[in-house]
């Protein structure tokens, strides 16, 4: 039985999670369910008070901050990647100025494609966590931020294919 999900404003059909797992020659890739890496990322999505999932392919971090204060509820935001955990921690002065710096920050890299994050069920886990922490409003914000990540990845792939910003490092002599 397939599942329906709204992604980028469109309803899509997806195979059940167990049929979406990608394998190479029978060996699992690190981001597949059942691997230690996947389990650690899933645990972070479910449990971390403040989580920064960074996507090197697009140079962005998806940040879930479940802390609450008088005027501020939980939030989810996109920010550029930073050079260190300390820099990410200090970025909360800019990202969440109404809250003190977090006591603890969980960092999780996602080296695979952005779409794979959704395909393996981590987006569903993130949206569930957002609903638990901030209701449908936070879950909708998370969907919007994830859609932006997907757009950025598509844009980066198009630029790569077109060669934008690239230059020739070596060229064969035309006389040969």
Tens-binned pLDDT, residue by residue, of the chain (176 aa): 444 545 555 554 444 443 334 444 555 666 677 688 889 999 999 999 999 999 999 999 999 999 998 788 999 999 999 999 999 999 999 999 989 999 999 999 999 999 999 999 999 999 999 999 999 999 999 999 999 999 999 998 888 888 887 778 888 887 76
Nearest partner of 150 among 18, 136, 158, judged by Cα: 158
The full set of domain ranges for the chain reads 29-154
Q: Which long-range contacts (CB under 8 A, 24 or more apart) does 122-128 make?
A: 122/38, 122/41, 122/42, 122/45, 124/5, 125/42, 125/45, 125/46, 126/45, 126/64
User: What's the 3-state SS for 18-34?
Assistant: HHHCCEECCEECCCCCC
Structure tokens, 34: 């059942």
Q: What is this structure's pTM?
A: 0.76
pLDDT at 47: 95
Only one residue has tokens 């859609």, namely: 147
DSSP 8-state assignment for residue 44: H
d(Cα 66, Cα 69) in Å, to the nearest integer? 10
- Cα torsion 73, 76, 77, 81: sign: positive
CA atoms lying within 13 Å on the CB side of residue 45 = 25
**Do the bridges between strand 3-7 and strand 23-24 make them parallel or antiparallel, or are there none, so unpaired?**
unpaired
Nearest partner of 121 among 42, 52, 44, judged by Cα: 42
């Amino acid at each position: 039985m397939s599942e329906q999900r709204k992604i980028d404003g469109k309803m899509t059909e997806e195979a059940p999670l167990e049929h979406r797992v990608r394998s190479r020659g029978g060996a699992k890739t690190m981001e597949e369910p059942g691997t230690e890496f996947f389990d650690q990322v899933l645990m972070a999505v479910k449990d971390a008070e403040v989580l920064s999932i960074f996507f090197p392919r697009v140079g962005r971090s998806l940040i879930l901050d479940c802390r609450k204060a008088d005027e501020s509820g939980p939030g989810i935001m996109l920010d550029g990647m930073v050079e260190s955990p300390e820099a990410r921690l200090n970025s909360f002065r800019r990202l969440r100025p109404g809250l003190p710096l977090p006591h603890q920050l969980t960092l999780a890299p996602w080296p695979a494609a952005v779409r794979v994050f959704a395909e393996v069920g981590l987006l569903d886990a993130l949206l569930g966590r957002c609903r638990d922490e901030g209701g449908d409003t936070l879950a909708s914000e998370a969907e919007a931020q994830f859609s932006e990540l997907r757009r950025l990845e598509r844009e980066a792939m198009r630029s790569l294919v077109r060669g934008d910003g690239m230059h020739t490092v070596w060229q064969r002599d035309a006389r040969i």
